[in-house]
Structure formats: structure tokens, C-alpha cells
Amino acid sequence: MNVLDLFSGIGGFSLGLERAGFKTVAFCAIDPYCRRVLAKHWPEVPIYDDVRTVSADRLRADGIAVDVICGGFPCQDISFAGNGAGLAGERSGLWREYARIVGELRPRFVIVENVAALLSRGLDDVLGDLAALGYDTEWHCIPASAVGAPHRRDRVWIVADSNVRGMEVGRRPSNIGAIFDGQSGVFTTHGSSCKQQADSLVADANSAQREGMRSPIGIHQKYADAGRSGWWEVEPDVGRVADGVPCRVDRLRALGNAVVPQIPELIGRAILQSEARHAA
């Protein structure tokens, strides 16, 4: 499946999806430093510099067709550390541009990421916009600890499936819920708190260790120990670095804004598995 990666940052979304077998055909990133990173690792993939100028006509003129749109739209107005403007804010309000592009391109799937605060600061609007465009959606709060990181990094992940295709072939669209529910039991509770999910992951890892098994969700025992002792960080701790590192501030900002690639990889693999089951 061809992917249009919006709000691309340094390419965490595409890195994960390409590991699953997808192909990124275009990026969009407004930050010049991030565009340089993307150009280094994906030299053949075009990069647009402003989501407000991306349109179906422009992509068509550039010979780009997409099956999937992904992206984590800006969180500054949604985050509890921000001003609380939500989707009415200047930066988080760029969700409207995301939705516009989805409506113009009508991709098969849409994958959206944002901070957990979206649960109370705009999730209903995001899901409503996707529903109005004809998409069935499932969402779950997935912490980075679900893929082995020693910090929570709570994030909301939304997967939307175009139900137009489902009606055309006389069946319901792919059961997106199965995408999450099939991942080692990690993402089975719709709307449960991220902290509860992280604590559950620790318990699963501890249980697996006691039984002499490798954790099915890839959490190393030291991470489980960290969760038990209560020192897990909400976000990853970026340690001190030597003076003279080029673009240090840009690097830290880009890393802080990036998604954990393993999560879109899991989602991508599950989407392909779901499609294969329906094709069979």
C-alpha cells in the first residue's frame, strides 16, 4: 500500500509502516531540519513543506496515488501542557487540513496519532469528521511501553477504514477492532486509560518471566522491574550530550515529536493481516 505521510517529522511513522511492507510515496513536513532528515533517508520520495498546500490535484499532477494517509497532527493546543484551545487552536486546528486531504483523496486507510489528552480535548470531533467522510474508526490509547520502551509515552492511535469499499463488495469493512485485539491482548480495552494498559503490560511481562517464557509483547525484565519500582518516566529522558553536537536543539525537538516506529509497524502488519483474511 502506498502511504502519504503528513506531519512527518523525522519519519517514525513511515519507518514503522515500511517495516510492515508499506511504501511511502510522499512526505509533508514544515520543519526544515526534519525535511533534511527525511531527504537523507528517503532520497527518492518527494517532500511537501506545508499541509495547507497539499491537495488531490497537486498530488495527481505529481503522479502520486495513495492507499493510506498517516500522521500525528500537532498536539500543542491539545496537550495538558498547552493552552487548552484544542482543535480550535492554530496548530492543533491543522487537523481540519488533515481531514480535508482525506476527503479529497479517499484513501483506503487513515492512521492518526496524538497525545492522550485528545481523549478529552477533541477526540469526538476527530472521529465525527472521519465518520462524516465515510470511515469506520477504532481507537486505542497505546503507550510506548507496549512495545518494550521503559517509559509510558501515552498516545492515542486511531485507525480508520473506508466503509465505501465495504459496501461496494457487499460486506462490512475490515474489522479494525481485530487489528488491536489481535496484538497479544495488549489493545483489547476500548478507551481504557494508558496507565492501566502500561500496568497491565508490566503484569504480563512479570507473569511470562515467572513461567520461564519470553514476554509476548517484548518487554524486557528490567523494564518490568522499572514499572514495579515506579520509576518509569512519562516521556523518555534525553540524557546530557557533549558540547558541539550539530543541531542539538533541532535533534531533541525532532525526537520529542516523533512517534515510536514499532507501534505503526504493529498496526501496519495487523492491517495487512486483516486484508489477507478478507481476501481469503
Q: Which residues are catalytic?
A: 75
SS3 string, the chain, reads: CEEEEECCCCCHHHHHHHHHCCEEEEEECCCHHHHHHHHHHCCCCCEECCHHHCCHHHHHHCCCCCCEEEECCCCCCCCCCCCCCHHHCCCHHHHHHHHHHHHHHCCCEEEEEEEHHHHCCCHHHHHHHHHHCCEEEEEEEECHHHHCCCECCCEEEEEEEEHHHHHHCCCCCCCHHHHHHCCCCCCCCCCCCHHHHHHHHHHHHHHHHHCCCCCCCCCCHHHHHHHHHCCCECCCCCCCCCCCCCCHHHHHHHHHHCCCCHHHHHHHHHHHHHHHHHHC
Q: How far, in Å, CA of 200 to CA of 187, rounded?
A: 10
Q: In what order do the strands lie in the sheet with 23-28?
A: 47-48, 23-28, 2-6, 68-71, 109-115, 155-162, 135-142
Nearest to 196 by CA among 235, 266, 142, 233: 142
